[in-house]
Amino acid sequence: MEDNKPASFIDQLVVPGDVVLDLSKMGNQTIKLGGGLHQDCDAITVTKAGRLRFSKPNKYWVESSQKRYVPCVEDTVLGIVVDSKADNFLVDIKGPAMAFLPVLAFEGGTRRNIPKFEAGTLLYVRVVKANTGMNPELSCTDAHLTCPVLEALGKKLSFEIAVGLNGRVWVNASSPSTVILVANAIMNSESLSVVQQKIMVDKLLQRIQ
């Protein structure tokens, strides 16, 4: 690939060694790197095969179908509480090690309103620290992320959902058909561009009208 402008790689298949971003040509932009990318001076290179993804305003990552989840900072995941301590909860996020969620890592969290979660409780959390050799740290504060598929579905359907980058999805709706439609939309969108995702959602919605 000769053109190393960011837009030329978005949603394209990339392999280890590909240089997908050149920071020297991006002015003073500040970017966030997710899984599958590595910075070497001004060059951002790929470390695992998959598709380069981008989410506004400035995050890039490589999406692959690997079975084991590798935590990355700013990932949103579904975790299961396995134990609770005085200062944090131990959470299974399907990674190589248990993650911990501080009891104050919630919107408006204080010592007076510490949440109580039993083992088995499902939580939608964000990875805030993911250092090699250390347990990942989680947070329940909002990262203000958007998703074209869910936004399009939300205009026509009523449902609740939590989608994790670790492969777990929770959907709740008043009818089984809505749950199935939402699940199908998510699975179908994996290798589609934003425009293709919207077309796919429109076709799914037409089936239930």
Range of the domain at 117: 76-139
Q: Give the CATH number, domain containing residue 21.
A: 2.40.50.100
Contact 123, 105 (CB under 8 A): no
Per-residue pLDDT tens over the stretch 71-115:
888 888 899 999 988 899 999 998 888 999 999 888 766 677 788
Return the DSSP state at 157.
-
Per-residue pLDDT at 10: 86
Report the pLDDT value the prediction gives residue 144, as an integer from 0 to 100: 58
User: Which tens digits make up the pLDDT trace of 62-76?
Assistant: 887 666 778 888 888
pLDDT average, residue stretch 39-63 = 86
The answer to whether 170 touches 161, Cβ cutoff 8 Å, is yes
CA angle 50, 70, 195 (to 5 degrees): 40
Q: How many domains does the chain have?
A: 3
Domain membership flag for residue 69: no
pTM exceeds 0.75, yes or no: no
Q: Give domain status of residue 68, yes or no.
A: no
CATH (domain of 125): 2.40.50.140
The token duo for 37 is 């990318």
pLDDT tens for each residue of 6-43: 567 888 888 888 899 888 887 777 888 888 888 888 88
